[in-house]
Amino acid sequence: MLLQFERRDTPSKSLIFATPFIAITITILLSSIMLLIQGKSLQTTFFSFFIEPFESTYALSEVFLKFGPLLFIAQALAIGFRAKVWNIGAEGQMIMGAILASSIPVYFIDSESVFLLPTMIFLGAIGGMFWAGIAAFLKTRYNANEILVTLMLSSIALQILYYLLLGPWKDPMGFNFPQTVMFQDAALFPPIIFGFRLNYSLIIPIIFTIFVWIYMEKRFGGFQLTVGGLAPRAATYAGYSANGAVWKSLLIAGMAAGIAGMSEVAGPIGQLQRSVTSGYGYSAIIVAYLGALHPIGIVFAAFFLSVIHIGGDYALVTADLPISSVHIFQGLLLVTYLSSYTLVNYRFKPRKAKVKEVESNLT
């Protein structure tokens, strides 16, 4: 018996809210099987995944350190996703933001100016917007698919980063490591608590979240953007610019990713190096969907994902899990979430088998 997909007429509202929890439950069940086969203790594993991140101030500060960029990028991407502009290249936009922002401490090594950090924020935004703007231009001008363009631009950004780190921007005193000089204090966000890596850059995503919420829920501009994405011909009919939606979505995302990249080099990393993004650009896509593309949902999703990221790190040590198990756990979560979300909107229906001998029956 074959199965076919059939769209539900009215997906249940409460089920949409329940989806993340269902996904988490299924993930825990499935990974329990995996852990049991591996002979690992379930208790220790889930303790390290879900409890240890809250046990110490240090652990919690690390959770919030991850929370910032994830929240920032996911909020911005969700604007585009709601408008059906599929920017999956936040990673590259982040890199370009980090590169442009780094140019200041790289070229003004001795400056202690108070304008250093604001200039870097500005340049970070410009770098990300420029990179996303290329995709917007190609999309609006030549109708080039933004999924491919943004993804490929990420690869290009990475190569530019490597070139700079191996060539002109390499720290001459850095024992030939592919990284820039360590930035001076004036080029770094001050820590919120002395001695921890968590810093004041966290404020930017939080303010941004409030703006996004107001923009998408209350502002006409947000409405126009959503219309442009959901029904481009309706946007043209009403006189809204369909291209405007593409530009706005990509530029906002580029700005957010660029500043997030800047916050990394001016924050926990303190220099430009190869692993500047920590994969936030891709994880943020998961966060945006896990949060059902809703500004409030994304706050919870970003926090949750940060917890299991940090929890994953602890699981490596405390529960002695291999890194691939941690990746499987995180991957399972996304797969179960997306499939539960699909099943909220669709249902399976059995398809009857074909009967060939109808004709012969007749005669």
Partner 1 sequence: MNGVQQPLLTLSKLTKIYGSLLANDSINLEVFPGSIHAVLGENGAGKSTLMKLAYGSIQPDAGQILWKDKKIDYWNTAVARDLGIGMVFQHFSLFETLSVVENIALTIQGPKKDLIDRIRMIGADYQLEIDPTAMVNSLSIGQRQRVEIIRCLMQDLKLLILDEPTSVLPPQHVQALFDALRKLQKDGVAILYISHKLEEIRELCDVATILRDGKVTGKVDPNKTSAQELATLMIGRTIPKIERRKSDNKSKNPTLNITNLNIKNPDPFGADLKDLSISVFGGEIVGIAGVSGNGQQELGRIISGEDIKGDLEPSAIEMFDQSVTRKGVIERRDLGFAFVPEERLGRGAVPSMTLSQNSLLTAFKKGMLKNGFIQGDVVTKFTNKCIKEFSVKASGNGATANSLSGGNLQKFLVGRELLLEPKLLFLSQPTWGVDVGSANEIRQKLISLRDNGVGILIISEELEELFEITDRMYVLRSGRMSNSMNTSEVTPDAIGEYMIGEEREGANNAIAV
Where do contacts with partner 1 occur on this chain (CB under 8 A)? 8-10, 218-221, 223, 227, 230-231, 233-234, 236-239, 352, 354-355, 358-359, 361-362
Closest CA to 189 of 204, 174, 179: 204
Pull the structure tokens for residue 164.
């700079």
User: How many angstroms separate the CA atoms of 293 and 301, rounded?
Assistant: 10
Count CB-CB contacts under 10 A for residue 124: 32
Radius of gyration in angstroms for the set of CA atoms belonging to the chain, rounded to a whole number: 23
Q: Which long-range contacts link 322-326 to residues 24+ away (Cβ below 8 Å)?
A: 325/31, 325/34, 325/35, 325/38, 325/40
Query: Least distance from C-beta 354 to partner 1, angstroms?
Result: 7
Instruction: Give the nearest distance from C-beta 203 to partner 1 in angstroms.
Output: 25
Closer CB to partner 1, 176 or 233, in the complex? 233
- Cβ nearer to partner 1, comparing 109 with 234: 234
Phi-psi region of 79 (alpha: psi -120 to 50; beta: other; left: phi over 0): alpha
Which residue, chain included where needed, has tokens 């852990």?
35
Which residue, 149 or 245, has its beta carbon nearer to partner 1? 245
Question: Residue 219 or residue 327: which is nearer to partner 1 going by CB?
Answer: 219
Question: Which residue's CB is nearer to partner 1, number 133 or number 232?
Answer: 232
- To which H or E segment does residue 4 belong? strand 2-7
Is 190 or 221 the residue whose CB approaches partner 1 more closely? 221
Specify the amino acid at residue 158.
L
Residue placing its CB nearer to partner 1 in the complex, 128 or 229: 229
Task: With both helix axes pointing from N to C terminus, report the angle between 220-230 and 57-82 in degrees, rounded to the nearest 10.
Answer: 70
CB atoms within 10 A of CB 190: 11
- H or E element at residue 213: helix 203-218
| Beta carbon of residue 296, minimum distance to partner 1 (angstroms, whole number) | 18
- Least Cβ distance, residue 275 to partner 1 (angstroms): 40
Min dist CB 362 to partner 1, Å, is 6
Task: Output the smallest distance, CB 347 to partner 1, in A.
Answer: 11
Residues 52 and 332: their CA atoms lie apart, in Å, by 21
**CB of residue 82 to partner 1, shortest distance in Å:** 11
Q: Which residue, 193 or 210, is less far from partner 1 as judged by CB?
A: 210
